[in-house]
Chain A
Amino acid sequence: MIRELSAERGVRPWAWLLAIVVHLAFVAVLVFGVAWRHKVTAPMQAELWDNLPAPATVTRPVPPTPAPPPPPAPVKAPEPPPVPKAQVPEPVKTPPAADIGLKKKALEREKEAQARQQALKKHERELAEEIRQQRAAALKEEEQDEARREATEERRREAAEVAKKAQKAKAALIDRYKLAIINKIKLNTDVPLGVPDGLTLEVDLTVLPTGEILMPVKIVKPSGNAAYDQAVLRGIMRSQPLPLPPEPELRRDFRTTHLQLKHEK
């Protein structure tokens, strides 16, 4: 049986109080002083590009312009109607010697003939005029046609050019993102010591639109150094999610990505 000092009994409440104070102080220091709060911010990533391709031409590949309607068959200029041969009636030869009556008659006839001739001539002129007008109209139409055809041709050429340019910009963009992916992988790869310079590893990745990599990663062409290959594969796994373009159309192109990773110091 433990016998206590009488003095100990008087001290006991104080001891307990002090013990509780010590614990409260310690807990307070731990809780309020040492807040074990880790705020891990996702690493920020910036891509520096010296020039940006116009996103509009890239994001919306120019839809193939519908083939211009076949140019209307050139309207055949209507065959000028056969010029009616002006049948110039032979001037009635009047006998030089004729009596007045005859002469009068002859004069009258001559006059008549002249009038007829004039009418004929007028008719002829009118016809010619008409033909000329028709011809001019046809020519004009043909010209317009030609212009229209040329315009559509031009448009088609332009569209093709724009499409080609868009394709080119898209390819450039894809290349840039590929470069970004490779850079990220390189950042995440711990190349083991003793790996010679200039090793090249080619892999095929299956990339989900979220930037995650579907296993397994296919090694198309090993570098010849197994340690390096393994390190790169680990680096690839560590690089998830891969930096993908924000446009879903472009992301689709990364579904299967072929990468060439070259080791250089």
Chain B
Amino acid sequence: MNVTTDVSLVSLVTNASVLVQIVMGLLLVVSLMSWSYIFMKMLTLRRARSQTTLFEESFWGGSDLNTLYQRTASNSADTGSLERIFEAGFREFQRHRTGGMMDATATTSGVQRAMKATYQREMDALESHLSFLATVGSVSPYVGLFGTVWGIMNAFRGLANVGQATLAHVAPGIAEALVATAMGLFAAIPAVVAYNRYAHEIDRLAIRFESFMEEFSNILQRQIKPHNGR
């Protein structure tokens, strides 16, 4: 007699109990979402990095601040975070200049506040969905474990009705329950890796933004003085 135990993945999933199947479906959806966010963040962060580098190059390349401002304001759809920060700061500066109130401290602090507000908005946008990745990374193993525990409980409860218990009675139940844990881990591991990596990248971008803000406010402050003395 040949004992053929066909334990294909599909049969494991389809034979699982309803709750385990719900858990597995939930984990599948969560995993899909987290992967889509991973790719989304990957693409946007890469773009933000390249845009920042590009703007820094053009800013420190000695081009005129006014033309730079005109350029960024005209094609606002294709601007990066750093350009928007620059735009906000320079707009505030120009408002002060056209308003004729060129008090150095007031202008500088106003520019800094404007840039700070834009910076925070940009950071918030950059960090969007990162918390989702963090949540998936920390919670989905538990969700999968819950499905597994439930499945194993069912397997053992079924075992109670069998007179002579062998491993063959429990093994399929445990296997299909463990699929839930596997799915939880499958969702969690990339999420955790991506979260750590993206958080680090955003931190580096934030440092670049902040240093740019400091330097840009210095530049603007230097522009105020000769104006004042005139």
Residues of chain A at the chain B interface (Cβ within 8 Å): 2-8, 11-12, 14-16, 18-20, 22-23, 26-27, 30-31, 34-42
Contacts and interface: CB of A to CB of B under 8 A. Distances in A.
B36 A3 contact: no
Which among B5, B36, B48 has the greatest number of chain A C-beta atoms within 10 A? B36
Contacts of A36: 7-9
B44 A40 contact: no
Interface stretch (B52-60, B64-72, B124-132, B207-215): B124-132
B47 interface: yes
A22 B4 CA distance: 32
Q: In terms of DSSP, what is the predominant structure of the interface of chain A?
A: helix
Q: In terms of DSSP, what is the predominant structure of the interface of chain B?
A: helix
A242 to B, nearest CB: 15
Given A2-B124, A39-B4, A42-B3, A16 B36 contact: yes
Interface residues of B, number: 34
A90 to B, nearest CB: 109
Given A2-B128, A5-B125, A19-B36, A41 B2 contact: yes
A11 B128 contact: no
B31 interface: yes
Interface in B1-48: 1-10, 28, 31-33, 35-40, 43-44, 47-48
Contacts of B32: 16, 19-20, 23
A31 B31 contact: no
B39 A14 contact: yes
A26 B5 CA distance: 23
